[in-house]
Amino acid sequence: MSLCYAYYPGCSGLGTSLEYDTSTRALCESLGIELVEIPDWNCCGSTPAHAVDHLLSACLVGRNLGIADDMAEERKLDGILTPCPSCLKNLKTTQHRLADPEFHRKVELVVGRTLTADLPIKSVLQMLVEDLGLEALAKLVQKPLAGLKVVPYYGCIMIRPPQIMQFDDPENPMALDNLLAELGAEVLPFALKTDCCGASLGTTRKDVIAKLSGRILDAAEEAGADAIVTACPLCQLNLDMRQSQINKANHSGHNMPVFYYTQLAGLAAGQGETSTMMDKLCVSPRPLLASLAGRTGEGA
């Protein structure tokens, strides 16, 4: 039975994380997983909405859940998927809070429709691990990432708080580790895998980002990694696009590519540039990927 989901790309997929959205869709397609974009979806409000008001946050999310309800009436869906942990947390928190009848009623009044909102909500990563199974992903691998040393960086909220997110171990998650190993990469132990990058303080408090994201880059380098692999648009942006700012603030000289795991999966599956969009990364991975070809040759 093939899997089919309502897909919520999130705003960053339209701009700063275009390569995440594109490589996610390409990967799912090659795995035979059908993603049906939630038509006319709106922004979930991200951190600003829940920081300003929980009702507003739930109502912005609620409209999207309502459209997904309509989709589920028309065809069988296995759930709602999003690649973005911040969107995921908002979707799941709202679904959780809607269990309170009084809150549910308030949200329906503001959204202006009834809400069922009972579809399972998962990240694309969680779906790959739990619904599809990593063996299916392994079958796709044509060019294993042999010789590529990576640290998996989950960020903080894909698995937290555990009561809501219900995925993997909140202190030592392994989903991304296991996935990258299936792709043939060498996954190094990484103590900071769930430490915060500074999240959305990038625009307002660069000192916080320089310290937190800087620490992650330092630790990755110290671990001997060639690259960091992430599943979060905000983490990726802070570590990659802001890497030069961080270097300047910390007097460091990092030149560390920061991939989305979906890009590497696409690469291992033999997909080309239109799907993996490696050229979108600010720290160019070209020299690394070129040297990788050489390394694999040596090993053979």
Alpha carbon distance 201, 296 (integer Å): 40
Alpha carbon distance 300, 298 (integer Å): 5
Query: Which of 188, 249 has the CB closer to another protein?
Result: 249
Query: Which of 192, 229 has the CB closer to another protein?
Result: 192
Q: Could you tell me the smallest distance in angstroms from the CB atom of residue 209 to another protein?
A: 10
Which DSSP string corresponds to 86-143? Answer: HHHHHHHHHHHHTTSHHHHHHHHHHHTS-----S-EEEHHHHIIIII-HHHHHHH-SS
Query: Which of 147, 152 has the CB closer to another protein?
Result: 152
Query: Which of 165, 227 has the CB closer to another protein?
Result: 165
Contact residues for another protein (CB under 8 A)?
11, 14-16, 18, 40-43, 45-56, 59-60, 63, 89, 106, 109-112, 156-157, 160-162, 170-171, 195-196, 198-208, 211-212, 241-242, 244-245, 279-280, 282
Q: Could you tell me the smallest distance in angstroms from the CB atom of residue 253 to another protein?
A: 17
Q: Could you tell me the smallest distance in angstroms from the CB atom of residue 24 to another protein?
A: 17
Residues 177 and 187 sit within 8 Å (Cβ to Cβ): yes
| Those residues with Cβ within 8 angstroms of residue 203's Cβ, 6 or more apart along the chain or in another chain | none
Query: Which of 49, 229 has the CB closer to another protein?
Result: 49
Work out the number of other CB atoms within 10 angstroms of the CB of residue 211: 14
Alpha carbon distance 161, 95 (integer Å): 14
Residues 217 and 255 sit within 8 Å (Cβ to Cβ): no
Q: Could you tell me the smallest distance in angstroms from the CB atom of residue 293 to another protein?
A: 24
Q: Could you tell me the smallest distance in angstroms from the CB atom of residue 110 to another protein?
A: 5
- From residue 101, how far is each of 18, 97, 171 by CA, in Å? 38, 9, 32
**112 token code pair:** 């202006």
Query: Which of 33, 281 has the CB closer to another protein?
Result: 281
Query: Which of 238, 271 has the CB closer to another protein?
Result: 238
Q: Could you tell me the smallest distance in angstroms from the CB atom of residue 70 to another protein?
A: 13
Q: Could you tell me the smallest distance in angstroms from the CB atom of residue 149 to another protein?
A: 25
Query: Which of 54, 143 has the CB closer to another protein?
Result: 54
Q: Could you tell me the smallest distance in angstroms from the CB atom of residue 297 to another protein?
A: 31
- From residue 114, how far is each of 59, 100, 111, 238 by CA, in Å? 12, 14, 8, 38
The Cβ-side half-sphere exposure at 162, using a 13 Å CA radius, reads 7
| Those residues with Cβ within 8 angstroms of residue 40's Cβ, 6 or more apart along the chain or in another chain | 67
